[in-house]
Amino acid sequence: MPKITYITHDGEKNTVEVPTGLSVMEGALQNNVKGIDADCGGSMACATCHVYVSENWLSKIEKIHDAEQDMLDMAHEPKKNSRLSCQIIVSNDLDGLEITTPVKQS
Amino acid sequence: MITTDVIIIGAGPVGLFAVHQLGIKGLKAEVIDNLDKAGGQCIELYPEKPIYDIPAVPECTGKELTDNLLKQISPFKTNFHYNERVEEVTQDKNNWIVKTSRNKIFIAPNIMIAGGVGSFEPRKLSLKEAEKFEGTSIFYSVTNKKIFENKSISIFGGGDSALDWALELSKFSKITLIHRRNEFRGAPHTLSEIKKLERQGKIFIKTPCQLEKIEGEKNIKSISIKFDDGKIEKIETDIILSFFGLIMKLGPIAEWGLNMDKKTILVNTNNFQTNKAGIFAVGDICTYPGKLKLILSGFHEVALASVECFKRAKPNETYRFEFTTASKTIHERLGLEKKQ
């Protein structure tokens, strides 16, 4: 099962196994990982599952769509490497993925 | 003080259908919501997005669903109390007393919490110093346009609200529109108007950049914005208007002594009652083994909860299960038949 590492803004690392097909957001929720709120439950309507993806992983994830980009406008401190974790679907290619959560989600 | 059978907190789809399920059982309800209209997340988050899993409705938008629910409950002539948040819940024997942010007081044997993920509030600027200017130099909505006349206004955001207010306020103020990326999301007509005003020097557009610093003592004097390439620019500013959408906050619900699991309220699946008799939680805000956050689950939950509400509101009457197709009493309540 792919391993995903969630890093908090102050550097706390938490590596969990997430089944393929689930989103990085769902992986966090199911494993009680701190830093991801996911208020809307994955309907891409709230921007509270916002994460930063390191440069080397960014290219391996499916490209960002306009609707996600629009939603990220509402996120807390969005950056160039910002994504919504509900839109990152875990696959074997993403085994080892590291994401960092922002200081806060809302 | 307003006396009723059930106080419904939240006017989203589930709160609205609760009115129906209570109404056909002859129970009166009062609905309280922090937003200025009905619909909850359906209206605030996805009014134009189609929903495909409402039984017997192959496709409808959040707005259509809300409008249809309002039509369905119109016979019950329910009172809606918008722009009010429930602050306090206290017990008085078998009744619950609810106090809102506008100091309205309600009393009822039942409370139905259909609060979704909590009440909607504007997302605030993340800079710490923003807090002390809030309400004087920093605003998250426009309620009184007069405050914004003949000022230098920096508007943050890239969506409809930011664009619409940039247009409107540019009639009498100097507007700088600031956004984290070059693309704006708005109606094509609005976008072309903005571009026109930019050419005329009435609106200044700064992208891609974000707020770096706010300067001023009592009121704001200037702000600094940082571009993606690291360049910093100082902008004379009297007022900041920020439009980063709404967030959902659980708010005071967490303090009512209900058993919670994170941001959700634990209920039983017989009648969706919480650990407090007479307080029910339905829709996205409740949780139980196997819970799915679907509108249709919420509809089921209010149907069952309303039976228990009946028993508490009318302890001397016997509850009779009836079908809407056949029941004369229900038809009377729906205004289809005159009372004999």
List alpha helices for B272-336, DSSP H: 295-313, 328-333
Which of A45, A70, A73 minimises the CB distance to B45?
A: A45
If pLDDT is split at 50, 70 and 90, which confidence band does B340 have? low
Determine the average pLDDT of the residues in A11-36.
95
* Cβ–Cβ contact A69 with B under 8 A: yes
Q: What pLDDT was estimated at residue B339?
A: 63
pLDDT digits (tens, 9 = 90+) for A69-81: 989 988 988 998 9
Minimal C-alpha gap between A89 and chain B (Å): 20
For all residues of chain B together, what is the average pLDDT? 94
Residues B48, B61 contacting (CB under 8 angstroms): yes
CA–CA dist B283, B253 (Å, integer) = 15
Determine the average pLDDT of the residues in B242-252.
87
Of the CATH numbers 3.40.50.2000, 3.30.500.10, 3.50.50.60, 3.40.50.1110, which one belongs to the domain with range B2-121+247-333?
3.50.50.60
Which of chain A's residues have a Cβ under 8 Å away from the Cβ of B180? Answer: 73, 78
pLDDT digits (tens, 9 = 90+) for B153-176: 999 999 988 999 999 999 999 999
Which of B46, B181, B284 minimises the CB distance to A45?
A: B46
Q: What pLDDT was estimated at residue B250?
A: 87
Domain ranges of chain B: 2-121+247-333, 124-244
Contact yes or no for B185 and A78 at CB 8 A: no
Q: Considering the entire predicted model, what is its pTM?
A: 0.80
ipTM of the complex: 0.74
If pLDDT is split at 50, 70 and 90, which confidence band does B255 have? very high
> Omega before B208 cis (within 30°)?
yes
CATH number 3.10.20.30 given to A3-100 = yes
Sheet arrangement for strand A13-17: A13-17, A3-7, A98-100, A50-53, A82-84
Determine the average pLDDT of the residues in B32-51.
89
Domain ranges of chain A: 3-100
Asked if B2-121+247-333 and B124-244 have one fold, the answer is yes
Res B338 pLDDT > 80? no
Contact yes or no for A77 and B183 at CB 8 A: no
Q: Which of A40-44, B26-30, B52-56 has the lowest mean pLDDT?
A: A40-44
Contact yes or no for A73 and B180 at CB 8 A: yes
Which of chain A's residues have a Cβ under 8 Å away from the Cβ of B179? Answer: 73
Residues B247, B125 contacting (CB under 8 angstroms): no
Of the CATH numbers 2.40.50.140, 3.90.470.20, 3.30.1360.200, 3.50.50.60, which one belongs to the domain with range B124-244?
3.50.50.60
Which of chain B's residues have a Cβ under 8 Å away from the Cβ of A78? Answer: 180
